[in-house]
Structure 1
Amino acid sequence: MDKLMAMRTFLATAEQGSFTAAGRLLGVSSSTVIRDVSALEASLGAALLDRSTRCVALTQVGAKYRDCIKKIVSAIDMADFEVVRGTLSCNRRFRVNVPIHLGRKLILPHIQKFMERNKDISLCMVSDDGVVDVRDNTVDLRVFVGQCTSTVGLITRTLGYFEYCLVASPGYLARHGRLEHPEQLAGHACLTEGENGHARWLLSGDSSVSVHGVFSSNDPEILRKAAISGVGVAFLPSWLVHEDVWANRLISILPLFTSRVPNGGSINIEYPLKYRRSLHVREFIKLMQEALDVSCVYTR
């Protein structure tokens, strides 16, 4: 058992009044919270919480223990914060990992404003579509697309959700006609992600359609440019094509079948627990929220 982490978990549970709310605050599952608190109680040989189906409440012993360790944990947090602040200030370098296309299309247009507001921060944005572990200290924060899971020692937060849109160029639609139902995609040139040309596009609700691509690529930016060139119909994230739709370079087709993919259509951030008070993290989250507000992403 990590005694300090168990103490943090207990304090969060006492403050929030439930294991689920404590888990959300710490970025871990409720089962992890229950396990850590139970392990702490076992090590002390005392019940710290009264559990019920609706909420948890402090026992008399738990209330005394909370008051004692709260100052200790706060002192440790402050010491960590001073070290982290000093390290970042001395290095003047904040390292962020972002997916390649998301970084170029969504974040990069807002970097100038971010740098103007934060002249003391030197930002290093590493573009990489691989999975990066922020715990190994190669980066301070990572932005990722996909399912948001809880990891002990990390804060993970979903900033927004996006849709997948069916799009084609005005020229392509003028030549081949507009679509009125997904089944018509079988008679159209489709642009698919991958290498074998086959794809199943998940549409709204539980509906889906199997397509065979006349052109395929593992690069969504190539598919976007192919769609603009009039090669065919593409199924792409809203944040990648929203500017093209506004500029009439692409037309959104079958909007009633637009897909907001569960989990896979979310934009998330993750950073170590020690950075939860970091000005750098707070300012970068502000940057992300500004970027999402203008990119057809449903924020929360």
Structure 2
Amino acid sequence: MKRQVAETETIDANVSDLRAFCLVVDLGSITAAARTLGETKGSVSRRITRLEHALGVELLRRSPRLVQATEDGLAYRMRVGRALELLEDANVAVQQARSRPRGHLRVTAPFDLGLSILAPLSAGFAERFPEISLELLLTEALLDFDAHQVDVALRATSSLPDSSLIAHKLQHIEVGLFAAPSYLRKHGAVRRPEDLEGHRLLLAQTARGHATIALSARARDGRDRAELRVRAAISASDFSFCREVALAGGGIALVPAINVRGDLDAKRLVPVLKDYAIHGAASLYLVHPGTRFLPSKIRAFRDYLLDAFGVQGRREAPAAAR
């Protein structure tokens, strides 16, 4: 239930006025209180007068040699003192929470990127920030930050539309053709783009099993770009499935290089047509709300990924789609 405070129960009092009043009562002197606060005697006196007018109560008895709290003033000092202590406790608590990341963090990312990128990074993040509970929402859908209570999103796209969100470019995602050595030994090497027509292709997100691949020789800097209309022997909704089929010797997979980095290092897969660049690649972005006071848990995750990708401090503007 929402708390409501009647206007008759509150006054338009400045917190600094309340602190000055408490200090005058404690020290028994407006001059001493002014010296402690670094203000003039007149300034502190005006604070007390302003507070008494707001309350409609005399809080202090003033004389040339002595300042004493009235009975109402003493009772008010006790209650205001407790309130100021609670306020100070609240200030300290929220500042500590900001300096020490904690809480529940919801991150959304495409399924493939979640497996190949976030899975290994999440282990290190959890180790460094044990007070943050990390929840991954892996989906190809672009989840809305507000509707799905998302804190951070990873987007793989060639461009970002304008929005109020902030985006950080993590890296360029290069797409390539990869196959198991056993498949190439059995079905022959691929030396030219046209040779792909005689091979089993493993493609993701095709149009009824067909796709267009645009290639150009790296040595010619894209000046001899050619487009091939190809048919998938096997197509799937995500790159991870194509990778698994390629590992099983089922064909040549068209997937992001980042998805097979470990397989290339272990020689489980090898690049096909490595002297050719495939066009239409995207970039990977980290996206978060564009607020001045970003929660510490989001800052911690953002900075951790920026550091992992070696792009600390780089920022894109405008941001990304909601």
TM-score bucket of the superposed structures, by smaller chain: 0.5 to 0.7
Among 260, 285, 294, the alignment partner of 1:268 is: 285
| Preserved CA contact (<8 Å) 1:170 1:250 | yes
Moved more, 150-159 or 123-132: 150-159
Structure 1 residue ranges, 4+ long, deviating more than 6 angstroms after superposition: 82-85, 87-91
Instruction: Quote how far apart the aligned CAs of 1:157 are.
Output: 2.4
> What are structure 2's unaligned runs of at least 5 residues?
1-92, 217-221, 317-322
Match of 1:231, SS state, is coil
1:134 aligns with 2:151: no
Hey, which of these two has a bigger chunk of helix by percent? 1
- TM-score using structure 1 length: 0.63
**Residue 136 of structure 1: how far off its partner (Å):** 3.7
For residue 152 of structure 1, report the CA deviation from its aligned partner: 3.6
1:153 matched residue in structure 2: 164
> How does 1:1-300 map onto structure 2 within 5 Å?
92-136=103-147, 138-193=149-204, 194=206, 196-204=208-216, 205=222, 206-259=225-278, 261=280, 264-274=281-291, 277-289=294-306, 291-292=308-309
Which runs of 5 or more residues in structure 1 are unaligned?
A: 1-81, 294-298
Query: How far, CA to CA, are the matches of 1:231 and 1:202 in structure 2?
Result: 23
Are the counterparts in 2 of residues 148 and 158 from structure 1 also a CA contact under 8 Å? no
Give CA deviations for 1:148-201 in whole Å, capped at 9, x if unaligned. 424342112222111111111101111122111111111112112236221111
Q: Distance in 2 between matches of 1:279 and 1:106?
A: 22
| Shift in Å, 1:283 | 2.3
> Contact between 2:103 and 2:133, CA under 8 Å: does it hold in 1?
yes
| CA displacement at 1:147 relative to structure 2 | 3.4
1:122, distance to aligned residue in structure 2 (A): 1.8
Change (3 A) 1:233 1:138: same
Distance 1:90 1:265, change over 3 A: closer
Q: Which moved more, 1:283-292 or 1:87-96?
A: 87-96
Provide the aligned C-alpha RMSD in A.
3.0
Paired residue type of 1:220: F
Compared with structure 1, are the counterparts of its residues 181 and 133 closer, same or farther at alpha carbon in structure 2 (3 Å cutoff)?
same
Judged with a 3 Å threshold, the aligned counterparts in structure 2 of structure 1 residues 259 and 120 are, in CA distance, closer, same or farther, namely: same
Residues 84 and 169 from structure 1, CA distance in 2 versus in 1: closer, same or farther, beyond 3 angstroms? farther
Give SS of 1:102's match. helix
SS of equivalent to 2:260: helix
Partners of 1:139 and 1:85 in 2: how far apart? 23
For the residues of structure 2 that align with 1:275 and 1:269, how far apart are their CA atoms? Answer: 17
Aligned counterparts of 2:115 and 2:199: Cα–Cα separation in 1:
30
Identity of aligned residues (%): 28
CA contact (8 A) 1:103 1:127 kept: yes
**TM-score, length of structure 2 as denominator length:** 0.59
SS at match of 1:258: strand
Q: Distance in 2 between matches of 1:128 and 1:244?
A: 24
Aligned residues of 1:99 and 1:127 also touching (Cα < 8 A) = yes
Larger Cα Rg: Structure 1 or Structure 2? 2
Secondary structure in 2 aligned to 1:210?
strand
- The answer on whether the counterparts of 2:152 and 2:286 sit within 8 Å (CA) in structure 1 is yes
Is the Cα contact below 8 Å between 2:175 and 2:255 reproduced in 1? yes
Question: Hey, what's the Cα distance between the residues in 2 that align with 1:284 and 1:91?
Answer: 11
Shift of 1:83: 7.4
In 1, are the aligned partners of 2:102 and 2:129 still within 8 Å (CA)? no
Matched length: 212
The CA deviation string for residues 64-122 of structure 1, in whole angstroms up to 9 with x for no partner, is: xxxxxxxxxxxxxxxxxx97986998981111111112111111112121112112222
Letter in 2 for 1:242: R
